[in-house]
Structure 1
Amino acid sequence: MRHDQELKSIPNVVRVAARRFGDAPALVDGDLRLTFRELETRMVEAVRSALALGIGPGDRVGLCAPNSAEWIVTALGIQGAGGVVVPLNTRFKAAEISYVLRKSGARALFAAASFLGTDYIADLRRTDPELPALRITVSMPGGPEGLRWSQFLAHGEEVTEAAAHESIDRLTADDVSDVMFTSGTTGHPKGVVLTHGQTLRAYGWMSTAYTFAPSDSFLVIPPFFHCFGYKAGWLASLMHGVTVIPMAVFDAGRALEIIHQERVSIILGPPTIFHDLLNHPERSGYDLSSLRVSMTGGTTIPESLIRAMKKDLSFDIVLSAYGLTESTALVTTTRPGDTEETVARTTGRPIPDVEVRIADDAGREVPAGRDGEILVRGYNVTRGYWDDPEATAATIGPDGWLHTGDIGHLDTDGNLAIVDRKKEMFIVGGFNAYPAEIEKLLLGYEPIAQVAVIGVPDERLGEVGCAFVVPRPGADIGAQDVIAWAREHMANFKVPRQVRFVDRLPRNASQKVLKHELRARYEG
């Protein structure tokens, strides 16, 4: 029997972990320190309280809060009662949150009372007072709107511990655990339906392959409303007895302090996190020797960053991976022992029991080395988009292949290289140009710390590239330096015709660059 089959559901992970790891540290959040047994106790209290509020099988419940112990306990409480968690992007405005809650049919909302100056429940009452989710609200930890967290927990006295455990026991691997809404950087967000079993199978395998162990501690920086922070983060940790340290807002200086103080050994996240840690002026003052395992998602990972992560941040293992929410956010990954070139150039091989093929515009499979759309099939593929059969049918074929909209190719060893998002491609004089490929090449120019490329109108060529560049500290470069270097290192049609220097790239909370903001900045 696979371990994930034994676990069966996400709340059951905590019960099994309490038996296996007992009084070992499970969760560190500021001054709060919980053992695995104590975390189970907190979870059961939350399940009792959720049941007392009337949350039951299949009920969708919104959760909008920063990375924290309360987020984890709340999610476990909702799921343990049979409910479905709808994680909400904490950077969304009230109208965007309202859309997700209405679309998902959420009947309750748990939200931070104050995060980044926002009281989500109060904002929603002003924006959409008739929103059904506002009938049951819990303010975390407590604010002027809704039940305070302590009041929510007090409701649990109406339900026995035995009833909570019975509710958890009824969960199956096929039950829906969450509806994860896509980031909405283009168009309305779509709700991706995922199950307990999909999640446990994917991340049970991943965390084992990544060598997670009870002696590890994991500083979880990616937001919990994204699979990166939630499933590859705290959930994968609890499956292996790893201590979870949530970080509400990334700050490189504070992260270095936590690594030093808590002997952090695992950090997964986008490249920008590691760039910021490396470039922090006080990095050398911290002991980072505990760092052991890292994985950085995305398509622009220069070998120089991998070498710096090993040399200057002390990581033994640096990996890359690829996934999208519709695939439980995990499709391919490199493995420990892969070369730096493989980690930089590709996102690795498909995870077990998952197929990847590359297809042309007519749907025909193309040979190794040739670019096409990445298609995925396997247990990790979503059942579909919530309440959107048309979008589901347009994305998942009758044969089960998920059309990712990403462009890439497989090498002769089966490693997947991502070229770009299909929709971000622009055409320069008849040649297809992929921003992510150009960005990866530009990162080979030492004075460039970060870069994002967009296609912009050009009278002669139709479109050309415009590069938004964040220079390395102390670098003295101009636009013509970047263009001249690019002309030496890439095909002419890929060379950006325009360069704009910026202090930072606009990103959403998942650290994806907001290309639409760059386009607006260009047009403005």
Structure 2
Amino acid sequence: MSGMSQANLMGQILKETAEAAPDAPAYYFYGREISFKEMDDLSDKLAYGFLKEGILRGDRIGIIALNQPEWLAVYFAAAKIGASVVGLSPRHPAPELLKLVQRSRPRAIVSLKNVGDTDYVELLEQNKDKVKGLEFCYFIGGEGANGCKSLESLMEEEPDQELLTAACAQVEPEDEIMFAFTSGTTGQPKAAAITHKSQIASARAQTKHVRVTSKDVLMLTQPLSHVGGITIGMASMLLAGGPTILIPVFLPEEVLNQAAEYHPTIIGGFPTTHHMLMAHEGFDKMDVSNIRVVITGGSNAEPDLVERLHQAYPESTIMNLYGLSESSGGALMTPWNCHYTMVGRTVGKPFPGFDVKIVGMDGRELPVNETGEVWLKGDCVVTGYFDMPEETAKTFDQTGWLRTGDMAYKDEEGFIILMGRRTEMYIQEGLNVFPVEVEDILSTHPAVDMVAGIGIPDPVYGEVGRYYVVPSPGSETNEDELRSFCIQSLADYKVPKQIVFRQDLPMTALGKIKKSDLRREFENTGK
């Protein structure tokens, strides 16, 4: 492509990209190469199929699928007719997934027939009447029960271009394109209402910042059901006209195999996925010479992780990205001239056109080096949460600011340094403690693989920190050793009072540590 598309609708961006480079590869999927034109034609057929079924502008279509071409075909088809998709990850256990379906109330669901031991045909058949407004179920790769059609059957006819064009003409940038559930690391997930406008604003800002071109190749391991996959990953590459390697489920061996075949230039992930990939026995043989940018996001980039990334990808630029479902994707990022040691300290600065301020409990903007809540403003901010007016009012103010719930401070150079979630802070001996400070220190100990801290009640100190540690494979350590290690770098009131060793930690479907489960477990058992 000669330049980035300036269209303000996702379906139009795909069409322009397909017209500019019809044969250019858009997606690699287990040996299959899908061009932009092929995806455009496929989604046109599916959009027409949806219209014939009676699915129209404003309807919601749930997707239960992995990172695969069918997911994107549904997404683009919905975008073209003004419908929206609801990202439903198969990584959620069936009862939790059903709750998300009931909460989002889609009119239609597109699903795999099964993933692992979960039979989605049976799950949806048994619970269809429990989902208000659900009329249609389509299954990828075959029909379901009671006459449910296959997704492929909706793409058998060539579209009526006049009908399709008329439907596309009704779509507006402010129309919802996707409902992405928040990760739920500290509480109940909420469905953020992402619009064409907000998603494109985030993706376009990131594409410019990372200097993505059609020659880049992205290794996509983050799920398309979340903004990490659909906006930070897929949409940024679509705008640049470059191909994306679709990884259905993050497995280090699969990532290494696909990297050997398709030679990515950009690789991104959450801290946990980066740790897992670098820990794999085959990682040392991976050819990293093509990789020019390594992106980490989803939570703080621990200094130890960034050091390891720098050693693993010595010729690459390491970048930290900050974004949330409520910002449709990325909103802040470390700059190109940011030394990798600084990347382990900050999430960077806002993209041009986006504003960030640090706000105190009284609602006033705080000066540099004072910790408060991160407020974000810009076209990337979503319109609110689906069917949750009270939560929407708490999170989005009337002047366009998003209260992120993340605590941070801004330094003299304008860098944002995250301190953790507002709900994670605890008060020990009358002083505020943010677990991330302690986690960052503990994570640098060679015997610590993963760590997560929470505040718990204490009759003497008010609250104390309780830190759950997963030891590194083959290592040995104990509470006294880790406390002594912390004393060297932390104020005495921040040194952990409790350290609990675990073989693993609860994770969300996105691969983030789920502290709400740790807190609930302690409340229920005291352990």
Normalised to the residue count of structure 2, the TM-score between the two structures is 0.93
**TM alignment of 1:188-227, pairs within 5 A:** 188-227=188-227
CA distance in structure 2 between the partners assigned to 1:76 and 1:244 by the alignment: 16
SS of the residue corresponding to residue 7 of structure 1 reads coil
* Change in 2 beyond 3 A, CA 1:386/1:300: closer
Deviation by residue 1:320-377 (Cα, 9 ceiling, x = unmatched): 1212211223321112221223311111111112211111111111110010111112
CA distance in structure 2 between the partners assigned to 1:62 and 1:297 by the alignment: 26
Deviation by residue 1:125-146 (Cα, 9 ceiling, x = unmatched): 3245342454211112235332
* Change in 2 beyond 3 A, CA 1:101/1:273: closer
Find the partner of 1:149 among 148, 151, 154: 151
Partner of 1:506 in structure 2?
506
* Change in 2 beyond 3 A, CA 1:4/1:35: closer
* Change in 2 beyond 3 A, CA 1:509/1:93: closer
CA distance in structure 2 between the partners assigned to 1:454 and 1:211 by the alignment: 38
* Change in 2 beyond 3 A, CA 1:185/1:209: closer
Partner of 2:391 in structure 1?
391
Q: What is the one-letter code of the residue matched to 2:241? A: G
Q: Contact between 1:407 and 1:422, CA under 8 Å: does it hold in 2?
A: yes
Q: Contact between 1:5 and 1:173, CA under 8 Å: does it hold in 2?
A: no
Partner of 1:122 in structure 2?
122
**Larger mean Cα displacement after TM superposition, 421-430 or 134-143:** 134-143
SS of the residue corresponding to residue 309 of structure 1 reads helix
Deviation by residue 1:68-100 (Cα, 9 ceiling, x = unmatched): 111111111122122111111323344444443
* Change in 2 beyond 3 A, CA 1:315/1:166: farther
Partner of 2:312 in structure 1?
312
**Larger mean Cα displacement after TM superposition, 290-299 or 210-219:** 290-299
- The number of residue pairs the alignment matches comes to 520
Q: What is the one-letter code of the residue matched to 1:296? A: T
CA distance in structure 1 between the partners assigned to 2:424 and 2:315 by the alignment: 33
Could you list the structure 1 runs, at least 4 aligned residues long, displaced by more than 6 angstroms after superposition: none
Answering whether residue 378 of structure 2 is matched by residue 378 of structure 1, we say: yes
Deviation by residue 1:374-396 (Cα, 9 ceiling, x = unmatched): 11122222222222222222222
Percent identical pairs in the alignment equals 29
* Change in 2 beyond 3 A, CA 1:79/1:122: farther
How far off is 1:432 after superposition?
Answer: 1.5
How far off is 1:222 after superposition?
Answer: 1.0
Q: What is the one-letter code of the residue matched to 1:129? A: D
CA distance in structure 2 between the partners assigned to 1:11 and 1:376 by the alignment: 27
CA distance in structure 1 between the partners assigned to 2:439 and 2:282 by the alignment: 28
Answering whether residue 438 of structure 2 is matched by residue 441 of structure 1, we say: no
How far off is 1:12 after superposition?
Answer: 1.4
Partner of 1:425 in structure 2?
425
Q: Contact between 1:55 and 1:82, CA under 8 Å: does it hold in 2?
A: no
How far off is 1:121 after superposition?
Answer: 4.2
**Larger mean Cα displacement after TM superposition, 110-119 or 344-353:** 110-119
Answering whether residue 327 of structure 2 is matched by residue 327 of structure 1, we say: yes
Partner of 1:278 in structure 2?
278
CA distance in structure 1 between the partners assigned to 2:312 and 2:384 by the alignment: 43
How far off is 1:521 after superposition?
Answer: 4.7
CA distance in structure 2 between the partners assigned to 1:341 and 1:133 by the alignment: 51
CA distance in structure 2 between the partners assigned to 1:309 and 1:171 by the alignment: 42
SS of the residue corresponding to residue 307 of structure 1 reads helix
SS of the residue corresponding to residue 12 of structure 1 reads helix
Q: Contact between 1:66 and 1:115, CA under 8 Å: does it hold in 2?
A: no
Partner of 1:365 in structure 2?
365
Q: Contact between 2:199 and 2:329, CA under 8 Å: does it hold in 1?
A: no
Answering whether residue 39 of structure 2 is matched by residue 39 of structure 1, we say: yes
CA distance in structure 2 between the partners assigned to 1:487 and 1:311 by the alignment: 27
How far off is 1:277 after superposition?
Answer: 1.7
Q: Contact between 1:309 and 1:315, CA under 8 Å: does it hold in 2?
A: no
CA distance in structure 2 between the partners assigned to 1:377 and 1:208 by the alignment: 19
Q: What is the one-letter code of the residue matched to 2:409? A: H
How far off is 1:113 after superposition?
Answer: 1.0
Q: Contact between 2:198 and 2:327, CA under 8 Å: does it hold in 1?
A: no
CA distance in structure 2 between the partners assigned to 1:458 and 1:187 by the alignment: 22
How far off is 1:420 after superposition?
Answer: 1.0
CA distance in structure 2 between the partners assigned to 1:122 and 1:499 by the alignment: 43
How far off is 1:303 after superposition?
Answer: 3.5
How far off is 1:249 after superposition?
Answer: 1.3
Deviation by residue 1:200-222 (Cα, 9 ceiling, x = unmatched): 12211201211212122111111
**Larger mean Cα displacement after TM superposition, 409-418 or 511-520:** 511-520
* Change in 2 beyond 3 A, CA 1:315/1:515: farther
CA distance in structure 2 between the partners assigned to 1:77 and 1:133 by the alignment: 20
CA distance in structure 2 between the partners assigned to 1:124 and 1:144 by the alignment: 9
How far off is 1:13 after superposition?
Answer: 1.7
Deviation by residue 1:94-127 (Cα, 9 ceiling, x = unmatched): 4444443344342111111111322334213324
**Larger mean Cα displacement after TM superposition, 21-30 or 220-229:** 21-30
Q: What is the one-letter code of the residue matched to 2:503? A: D
How far off is 1:174 after superposition?
Answer: 2.1
How far off is 1:260 after superposition?
Answer: 1.5
CA distance in structure 1 between the partners assigned to 2:259 and 2:95 by the alignment: 37
Deviation by residue 1:439-482 (Cα, 9 ceiling, x = unmatched): 11222223322211122333321222222222233322222211
Q: Contact between 1:300 and 1:437, CA under 8 Å: does it hold in 2?
A: no
* Change in 2 beyond 3 A, CA 1:293/1:169: farther
Q: Contact between 1:455 and 1:466, CA under 8 Å: does it hold in 2?
A: yes
Q: What is the one-letter code of the residue matched to 2:448? A: I
Note the aligned Cα RMSD (angstroms). 2.1
SS of the residue corresponding to residue 440 of structure 1 reads helix
How far off is 1:520 after superposition?
Answer: 4.5
How far off is 1:188 after superposition?
Answer: 3.8
Which runs of 5 or more residues in structure 1 are unaligned? none
Partner of 1:412 in structure 2?
412
Q: What is the one-letter code of the residue matched to 1:151? A: S
CA distance in structure 2 between the partners assigned to 1:279 and 1:187 by the alignment: 30
CA distance in structure 2 between the partners assigned to 1:189 and 1:433 by the alignment: 25
CA distance in structure 2 between the partners assigned to 1:103 and 1:370 by the alignment: 38
Partner of 1:344 in structure 2?
344
Answering whether residue 86 of structure 2 is matched by residue 86 of structure 1, we say: yes
**Larger mean Cα displacement after TM superposition, 468-477 or 159-168:** 159-168
CA distance in structure 1 between the partners assigned to 2:131 and 2:299 by the alignment: 39
Q: What is the one-letter code of the residue matched to 2:43? A: M
SS of the residue corresponding to residue 403 of structure 1 reads strand
**Larger mean Cα displacement after TM superposition, 216-225 or 295-304:** 295-304
Normalised to the residue count of structure 1, the TM-score between the two structures is 0.93
Q: Contact between 1:4 and 1:200, CA under 8 Å: does it hold in 2?
A: no
SS of the residue corresponding to residue 115 of structure 2 reads coil
CA distance in structure 1 between the partners assigned to 2:336 and 2:153 by the alignment: 47
Partner of 1:230 in structure 2?
230
CA distance in structure 2 between the partners assigned to 1:331 and 1:191 by the alignment: 19
Q: What is the one-letter code of the residue matched to 1:518? A: L
SS of the residue corresponding to residue 92 of structure 1 reads coil
Q: Contact between 2:370 and 2:410, CA under 8 Å: does it hold in 1?
A: yes
CA distance in structure 2 between the partners assigned to 1:5 and 1:449 by the alignment: 43
Deviation by residue 1:471-524 (Cα, 9 ceiling, x = unmatched): 233322222211110122111222112222233322112121111332355435
SS of the residue corresponding to residue 212 of structure 1 reads coil
How far off is 1:186 after superposition?
Answer: 4.6
Partner of 2:293 in structure 1?
293
* Change in 2 beyond 3 A, CA 1:294/1:166: farther
